[in-house]
Amino acid sequence: MKVSYEFSEEQAEAIVTLQLYRLTNTDIVTLENEEAELRERITMLKAIIGDERTMYNVMKRELREVKKKFATPRLTELQAEAETIEIDVASLIVEEDTFVSVTKGGYIKRTSPRSYNASTVEEIGKRDDDELIFVAQAKTTQHLLIFTNLGNVIYRPIHELTDIRWKDIGEHLSQTITNFATDEYVLYAEIVDDFGSQTYFAATKLGQIKRFERKEFTPWRTYKSKSVKYAKLKNADDSVVTISPIALDDVMIVTHNGYALHFNIEEVPVVGAKAAGVKAINLKDDDFVASAFVANTDSFFILTQRGSLKRMATELIPATSRANRGLQVLRELKSKPHRVFMAGPVHASNDVQNLDLFTISTVDSDDVETLEVHSNKGAVYQAILEDLNLSERTSNGSFISDKISDEGVFSARIK
């Protein structure tokens, strides 16, 4: 029966069990009418599925019925061209005063003026082996740029920084930046109002140098989770030695083996953030760049790995062209030779307040630069750079302590 009449299982079962005496004429008519309705509905549905015009006509008819049934006037206006409304997100940020701090190890935070003023700078919450390299007053409408030793730059709007008490440790960059490496640390940080025409220079350990512009770091789409490149490194042994804003100043390059080269930054082209740059100095096979800095002062200092310190006149290294070998600034010794651990400019007392590289806070004109040296045995030594006598170009300087030569230098920083 299912095969002959195309009945379903349920229909065939109903017919087999049907008691014929109950099948009245009324039942037959009802069933015939139901069959006719179903066949008509099947025909209509097939037409809707198979013919696009029929489908559209049905849709129009049903929509007219809806319109007739729900005859409420339209509240919105249909326009041929919709006007795009753009909202400036920056205008929604509440401008507040705050203090922003960054440590060398990569901990960042913003702190309320109340919490900051209730403590001293030295009371900042940080790890014992970490170092505070940047703290400044800022507005929540400003921006923070962080440059690392592996040639990466990290962007953070100030208002997005976590508000943390001054005595508590901040948020580590690796908590949000997925490509922050274990051997990566912060070299330089600054607060900016916009991404205008400021130019920077960066020098690498293997002797490359480049200039690039801040506009390269206009906030990118994935800034919350990824850093972008500002310097291309040669290999895994390479790293950025210095990153600093610069105008049309001179640059001094000092190598580990004691060579210094002085040239104008205009010899370095302005290139894109991902470019490798050009050769800064002609290095020997066993040499590398120890320091690079803006040479706009009358003198600079050199600290060796044995703890010897000297100050020499900038004019003793005449300005020349980049990619040269440079002049020796240390006398070579056969036994325990000196090697450059750190070098940098010496600012006069009345110039210290104009510093912006690693400046902890605004200082008075009577403050002086102090070099703080930590030995491998944990001893701490300090020297006021401006008080050092000027030395000859090839002098090895004087030891800052009788014991430092045997202990060796572990770290050093300008206070």
The encoded tokens of residue 316 equal 């003793």
- Residue 57 within a domain: yes
Rounded Cα distance between 116 and 173, Å, is 21
Dihedral, CA atoms, 214, 218, 221, 227, nearest 10 degrees? 20
For residue 87, give Cα distances in angstroms to 29, 84, 91, 102: 69, 10, 8, 31
Q: Which stretch of 83-87, 107-111, 151-155 has the lowest confidence by average pLDDT?
A: 83-87
Is residue 172 situated within a structural domain? no
3-state secondary structure 109-121: EEECHHHHHCCCH
Confidence of residue 80 (pLDDT cuts 50, 70, 90): confident
Last residue of a domain, one of 52, 69, 86: 69
CATH number of the domain within which 306 lies: 2.120.10.90
- Give the tens place of pLDDT for each residue, 88-100: 777 788 899 999 9
**pLDDT tens profile 303-343:** 999 999 999 999 999 999 999 999 999 999 999 999 999 99
pLDDT at res. 357: 39
Is 398 inside a domain boundary?
yes
What was the pLDDT predicted at 125? Answer: 94
Domain annotation covers residue 383: yes
Q: Residue 368's pLDDT is what?
A: 82
**Does residue 21 surpass a pLDDT of 90?**
no
Number of domains in the chain: 2
Q: How far is CA 165 from the centre of its chain?
A: 23
- The contacts found for 236-240 with CB under 8 angstroms, 24 or more apart, are 237/205, 237/206, 238/204, 238/205, 238/206, 239/149, 239/150, 239/151, 239/204, 239/205, 240/147, 240/148, 240/149, 240/150, 240/151, 240/187, 240/202, 240/203, 240/204, 240/205
**Stronger pLDDT, 29 or 270, i.e. the higher one:** 270
Last residue of a domain, one of 69, 104, 119: 69
The C-alpha atoms of residue 142 and residue 192 are separated, in whole angstroms, by: 6
Residue 294 lies in a domain: yes
> Can you give the pLDDT at residue 79?
78
Q: Which residue range forms the structural domain that includes residue 402? A: 248-415
Residue listed under structure tokens 């090697």: 339
Q: Is residue 288 part of a domain?
A: yes
pLDDT band at 361 (very low <50, low <70, confident <90, very high): very low
E-assigned strands of 284-328?
Answer: 289-294, 299-304, 308-313, 327-328
Average pLDDT, the chain: 89
Domain assignment present for residue 226? The answer is no
Task: From 30, 53, 69, give the residue that closes a domain.
Answer: 69
Look at residue 125 and tell me if it is in a domain: no
Contacts 24+ apart (CB under 8 A), 109-117: 109/161, 109/162, 109/163, 109/164, 109/168, 109/170, 109/171, 110/138, 110/140, 110/158, 110/161, 110/162, 110/163, 110/164, 111/163, 111/164, 111/165, 111/166, 112/163, 113/137, 115/165, 115/166, 115/167, 116/166
